[in-house]
RNA sequence: GCCCGAGUGGUGGAACUGGUAGACGCACUGGACUCAAAAUCCAGCGCCCGCAAGGGCAUGUCGGUUCGAUUCCGACCUCGGGCACCA
């Protein structure tokens, strides 16, 4: 027989599915719906193995659900705005739009070769005018709904490139491109009011049961809710100073008050105090990088002001400016209790401030308890604290809060570390912010009738700064309100905005409105979302926020965009290096002999390095295209699903790929050998081993796919193939086994499965064939093998009819040779029989 | 520093709610077929002792609970991830 020709078969079936429009999703179906979505790709130019893994997993779910009778939405689009297009424009002189759409065309072609069951009629790119026009509409609506506002913000400013840099673009305090020392600048920027939903975004995490616990935890920490008390100090200059604390119980251990260098009071004082101004400048000079923060010394400056202790006006605390107090959290001011806060302790030790323990661990003597280099943050009883003495921490907190609240000095407050989302970017290849700045009317949103604000096609990327800002006409606009000359906002939106609602647009990509509520309410939430863990926080949090915004605006009734989330692992590969840690060498350039790696066709040995994520810098990238050409899409898909659990990193190996290819051929042989089977539809009878293996496999694979355990599903299918090697070679049971196998590999290796289905004599297509059902009578054995243990050690096994009574099992087990030998004549003290499982004899 | 997660053969990994540890794949070894190779098929494959029958030891380490622990509890070690002066 001919070997299976993957190339020919894959092309043929892709055309056939296409001709039948087999994967169209229907917005008016009576079937239950299933929305399966993988995080859409950035059109960098080529697909990589990570894409292959991601889209294969999604495709398996989509095809599985379709076979189970669901109306499936499985779309594809492009996250198409972003910096690489601008870099290409500057470096190569191309138009970013052309560059992007060319990349999309190339990647679409590569993705289609994988045979994905996608409704391509819904494809769009976020840089399509049709998409970003609607995003602009949403932005103005969010603005009117109070979910967007403008405010001053500190940004990383590159003085050479004259542009704002993202934190990731600042390396050791310098711009990644220019190398210039980055400055902190205050700019007026647009923000999304994500903090309006802090509590809701946090609480709703509990209901996202089909999200990984890890991701929920990361989001919880990111939102960072903490309960505490906000109260005010009376200052010696007559003003009040608001502080936030989670430890009001330690108030009698206070030895100073501290304010941020960015606090308004600091600014005010610095105007009359040159030394303070210098101190503030010094604080700002110290970078915001992790390393800088970790090693930064605590620094303080005594303002000369004092603050009255809230419970004793005669007790004066010095007011210090301290570099470790952040303006962005709480009120930007604290009270310092050195004995019970590590930072305060370091600060106090440096500036010789008192350290008075007020929470004493159980069993310690309050008079003897001393805090040295480590602050005590554990539980205990209050001491040295007047009316609080003897209380536990929780009661003391409540008591302080109650008293200060009664005096009108304090309020119980919840703080979050979550900040509002700064969405302005000084970039040209993005969604223009549809706002106009008028000297007379202030900020005016561009009215619906004037949308979209289109990106000009003639941007000059050789200029410094934002090409959109430098464009000769773009920024000149008429004020929509008064008609006078005004300035258009030349910033664009963070590309995370683009990906915050694309899943809602997929529900109806033809709708005039940004989101069609009927379609969105039918399809949303996404039933299964799949993507990388790197989006655990930002993208997923922004999308959750945006969906709440869409709800508020009436576009949908759901709040949570993704009911099920799965985060898949990366694709890794061995690295190769010439000797002595020299140049990296690509996998294509080496060959392996006896576990050693050599330069192809030579005896020059190369070092095999660590297994790492595929990356250009380590040159350990394997292009999907080459692999598809060599083994076909099905073998590659099979590899991606085999062996490694989907959430873990998978190592790509040539040997593994060859193994997958061999399995493709093995299935094809099994089908070919089955020429003389009874015709399709012949019912099998009886209960042979093969039939039992078939139905057990169906039950197991179904369960595994339901739970995204692809590696186990693959193992079950191998086991069934092995069972076929031993079972009946002909007859209806053989056909049943083969057909079950073909139907089960359908979602995983769809082209091979279609070919096999046709070869088995079917005239219908496998994509239109329902998922097989397991016969419960055949998934259960009527003979069970008991393990027989003596003192917990396995000594024998013994078959019994299922449900045999305990007494019989016990009596027979005790007669076994191995048991008699192990007992050495001793009488059993106790015999434990676990029905249909195990016997343990205790001697 | 704080918070998570994971440690099982040469290797990727299985093991349902505590019940025969190592399914299935890869690699490897031996054999069959072949002039030969590829492909395919058959067999073997945790470690130690033993000709064998059989026995002992094994799921990072040490302890605990239990008739029985990869699974539950405690301590420790190693690796990976997240956050990072958040008051």
pLDDT digits (tens, 9 = 90+) for A654-679: 989 999 999 999 999 999 888 788 99
Convert the pLDDT of each residue in A620-654 to its tens digit. Answer: 889 999 999 999 999 999 999 999 999 999 999 99
Asked whether residue A707's C-beta has any atom of DNA/RNA strand B within 7 A, the reply is no
**Average pLDDT over every residue of A98-120:** 97
| CA-to-C1' span, A788 to B19 (A) | 10
The reply to whether the CB atom of residue A326 sits less than 7 A from any atom in nucleic acid chain B is: yes
- The pLDDT score that the predictor gives to residue A746 is 96
Between the alpha carbon of residue A741 and those of residues A701, A733, A753, A773, the distances in Å are 10, 12, 9, 12
**Lowest-pLDDT range of A256-265, A286-295, A305-314, A417-426:** A286-295
- The whole model's pTM is what? 0.93
State CA A298 to chain mean position distance: 35
CB of A822 lies under 7 Å from some atom of strand B: yes
Quick one: pLDDT at residue A288?
46
Instruction: For residue A9, say whether its CB is under 7 Å from any atom of strand B.
Output: no
Of A101-105, A458-462, A581-585, A793-797, the least confident: A581-585
Strand B contact at CB of residue A715, distance < 7 A: yes
CA of A325 to C1' of B85 (A): 7
How far is A812 from A828, CA to CA, in rounded Å? 14
Contacts of A757 by beta carbon, 8 Å cutoff, 6+ apart: A739, A742, A743, A746, A765, A766, A769
Residue A168's pLDDT is what? 62
A645 touches strand B (CB under 7 A): yes
Whether the beta carbon of A676 falls within 7 A of nucleic chain B: the reply is no
- CA dist., res. A520 & res. A525, Å (int): 8
A667/A551 Cα distance (integer angstroms) = 50
CB-strand contact A538/B, under 7 Å: no
Residue A722 approaches strand B within 7 Å at CB = yes
pLDDT at A674: 81
Percent of chain A having pLDDT more than 90? 71
Tokens of A255: 């030895």
Do residues A197 and A548 lie in contact, with contact meaning Cβ atoms separated by under 8 Å?
Answer: yes
Q: In this predicted model, what pLDDT tens digit does every residue of A545-555 receive, in sequence order?
A: 999 999 999 99
CA of A805 to C1' of B19 (A): 18
Q: Which nucleotide is nearest to A716 (CA to C1')?
A: B24
Interatomic separation, CA of residue A792 and C1' of nucleotide B48, rounded (Å): 21
pLDDT (0 to 100) of residue A173: 67
Asked if residue A290 lies in contact with residue A352, where contact means CB atoms within 8 angstroms, the answer is no
Write the CB contacts of A191 (distance below 8 Å, at least 6 apart in sequence): A148, A149, A150, A151, A153, A420, A421, A422, A423
Report pLDDT for A479: 96
Task: Calculate mean pLDDT across residues A688-717.
Answer: 94
Q: Which residue is nearest to nucleotide B26 (CA to C1')?
A: A656
Q: Is the CB of A662 under 7 A from strand B?
A: yes
- Cis check: omega of the bond before A452, within 30 degrees of 0: yes
A45: Cβ contacts below 8 Å, ≥ 6 apart? A103, A106, A107
pLDDT for A291 equals 42
Write down the mean pLDDT value for chain A.
91
> For A233-255, what is each residue's pLDDT tens digit?
999 999 999 999 999 999 999 99
Strand partners for A832: A840
Above 50 in pLDDT, residue A95? Answer: yes
Beta-sheet strand order (sheet of A71-73):
A71-73, A33-38, A528-532, A565-568
Which residue's entry shows tokens 């390396």? Answer: A171
pLDDT at A167: 65
Q: Is the pLDDT reported for residue A778 higher than 70?
A: yes
Query: What six digits make up the tokens of A241?
Result: 């100073």
Position A123 scores a pLDDT of: 98
Taking the CA of residue A662 and the C1' sugar atom of nucleotide B39, their distance in angstroms comes to 10
Confidence (pLDDT) at A77: 98
Question: Taking a C-beta distance cutoff of 8 angstroms, is the pair A634, A8 a contact?
Answer: no
Residue count of chain A: 843
Work out if A820's Cβ lies within 7 angstroms of strand B.
Answer: no
**What is the tens place of the pLDDT at every residue in A475-499?**
999 999 999 999 999 999 999 999 9
Could you check: is the Cβ of residue A777 within 7 Å of any atom of nucleic acid strand B?
no
A330 CB and strand B closer than 7 A: yes
* Whether the predicted pLDDT of A398 surpasses 90: yes
Q: Report, as an integer, the average pLDDT of A557-573.
A: 94
In this complex, the answer to whether residue A338 has its CB under 7 A from any atom of chain B, a nucleic strand, is no
* pLDDT at position A617 over 50: yes
Q: Look at residues A668, A631, A639, A661 and name the one whose alpha carbon lies nearest to residue A757.
A: A668
A610 CB and strand B closer than 7 A:
no
pLDDT in tens, A333-380: 999 999 999 899 999 999 999 999 999 988 888 888 888 888 888 888
Encode pLDDT of A291-340 as tens digits.
Answer: 454 556 888 999 999 999 999 999 999 999 999 998 889 999 999 999 99
Q: Is the bond into A525 cis (omega within 30 degrees of 0)? A: yes
Among all strands, which nt has the closest C1' to A214 (CA)? B4
| Strand B contact nucleotides, protein CB < 7 Å | 3-5, 12-16, 19-21, 23-27, 39-42, 54-57, 67-69, 81-87
Q: Which residue has the tokens 């505490």?
A: A228
Taking the C-alpha atoms of residue A546 and residue A664, their distance in angstroms, rounded to an integer, is 44
């Amino acid at each position: 027989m001919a070997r299976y020709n993957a190339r020919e078969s894959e092309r043929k079936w892709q055309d056939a599915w296409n001709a039948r429009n087999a994967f169209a999703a229907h917005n008016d179906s009576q079937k239950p719906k299933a929305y399966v979505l993988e995080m859409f790709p950035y059109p960098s130019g080529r697909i990589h193995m990570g894409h292959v893994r991601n889209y294969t997993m999604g495709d398996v779910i989509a095809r599985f659900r379709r076979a189970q009778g669901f109306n499936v939405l499985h779309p594809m689009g492009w996250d198409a705005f972003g910096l690489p297009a601008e870099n290409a424009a500057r470096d190569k002189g191309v138009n970013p739009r052309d560059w992007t759409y060319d990349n999309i065309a190339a990647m679409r072609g590569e993705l289609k070769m994988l045979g994905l069951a996608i409704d391509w009629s819904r494809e769009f790119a976020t840089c399509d005018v049709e998409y970003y026009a609607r995003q602009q509409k949403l932005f103005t609506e969010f603005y009117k709904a109070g979910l967007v506002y403008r405010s001053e913000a500190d940004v990383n400013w590159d003085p050479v490139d004259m542009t704002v840099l993202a934190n990731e673009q600042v390396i050791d305090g310098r711009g990644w491109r220019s190398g210039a020392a980055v400055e902190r600048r205050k700019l007026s920027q647009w923000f999304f009011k994500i903090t309006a939903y802090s509590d809701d975004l946090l609480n709703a995490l509990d209901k996202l049961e089909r999200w990984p616990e890890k991701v929920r935890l990361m989001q919880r920490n990111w939102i960072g809710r903490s309960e505490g008390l906000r109260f005010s100090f009376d200052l010696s200059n007559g003003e009040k100073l608001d502080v936030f604390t989670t430890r009001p119980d330690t108030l009698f251990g206070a030895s100073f008050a501290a304010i941020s260098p960015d606090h308004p009071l600091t600014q005010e004082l610095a105007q009359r105090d040159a030394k303070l101004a210098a101190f503030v400048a010094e604080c700002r000079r110290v970078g915001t990088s992790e390393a800088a923060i970790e090693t930064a010394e605590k620094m303080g400056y005594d303002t000369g002001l004092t603050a009255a202790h809230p419970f004793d006006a005669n007790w004066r605390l010095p007011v210090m400016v301290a570099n470790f107090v952040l303006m962005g959290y709480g009120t930007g001011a604290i009270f310092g209790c050195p004995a019970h806060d590590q930072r305060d302790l370091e600060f106090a030790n440096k500036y010789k401030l008192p350290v008075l323990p007020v929470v004493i661990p159980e069993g310690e003597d309050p008079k003897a308890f001393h805090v040295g280099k480590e602050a005590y943050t554990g539980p205990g009883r209050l001491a040295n604290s007047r009316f609080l003495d003897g209380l536990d921490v929780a009661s003391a907190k409540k008591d302080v809060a109650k008293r200060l609240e009664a005096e009108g000095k304090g309020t119980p407050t919840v703080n979050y570390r979550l900040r509002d989302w700064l969405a302005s970017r000084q970039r040209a290849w993005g969604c223009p912010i549809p706002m106009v700045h008028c000297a007379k009317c202030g900020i005016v949103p561009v009215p619906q009738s004037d949308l979209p604000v289109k990106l000009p096609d003639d941007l000059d990327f050789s200029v410094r700064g934002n090409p959109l800002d430098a464009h000769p006409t773009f920024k000149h606009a008429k004020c929509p309100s008064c008609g006078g000359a005004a300035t258009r906002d030349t910033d664009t939106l963070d590309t995370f905005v683009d990906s915050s609602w694309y899943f809602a647009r997929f529900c109806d990509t033809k709708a005039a409105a940004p989101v069609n509520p009927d379609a969105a309410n039918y399809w949303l939430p996404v039933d299964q979302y799949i993507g990388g863990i790197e989006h655990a926080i930002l993208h997923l949090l922004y999308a959750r926020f945006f969906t709440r915004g869409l709800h508020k605006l009436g576009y949908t009734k759901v709040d949570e965009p993704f009911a099920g989330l799965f985060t898949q692992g990366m694709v890794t590969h061995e690295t190769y290096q010439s000797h002595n840690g020299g140049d990296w060498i690509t996998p294509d350039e080496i060959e392996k002999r006896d576990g050693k790696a050599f330069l192809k066709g030579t005896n020059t040995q190369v070092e095999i390095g660590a297994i790492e994520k595929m990356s250009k810098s380590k040159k350990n990238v394997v292009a999907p295209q080459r692999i598809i050409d060599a083994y076909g899409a099905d073998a590659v898909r099979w590899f991606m699903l085999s062996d490694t659990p989907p959430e873990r990193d998978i190592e790509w190996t040539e040997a593994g790929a060859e193994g997958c290819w061999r399995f493709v051929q093995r299935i094809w042989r099994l089908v070919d050998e089955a020429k003389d089977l009874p015709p399709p539809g012949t019912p099998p009878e009886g209960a042979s081993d093969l039939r039992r293996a078939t139905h057990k496999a169906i039950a197991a694979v179904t369960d595994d796919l339901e739970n995204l355990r692809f590696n186990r599903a693959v193992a079950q299918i191998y086991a069934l193939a092995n069972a076929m090697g031993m079972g009946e070679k002909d007859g209806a049971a053989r056909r049943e086994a083969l057909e079950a196998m073909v139907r089960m590999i359908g979602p995983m290796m769809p082209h091979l499965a279609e070919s096999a289905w046709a070869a088995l004599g079917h005239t219908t297509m496998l994509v239109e064939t329902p998922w097989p059902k397991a016969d419960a009578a055949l998934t259960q054995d009527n003979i069970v093998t008991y393990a027989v243990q003596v003192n917990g050690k396995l000594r024998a096994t013994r078959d019994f009819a299922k449900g045999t009574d305990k007494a019989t099992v016990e009596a027979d087990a005790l007669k076994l040779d191995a048991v008699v030998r192990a007992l050495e004549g001793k009488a059993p003290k106790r015999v434990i029989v676990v029905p249909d499982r195990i016997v343990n004899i205790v001697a």
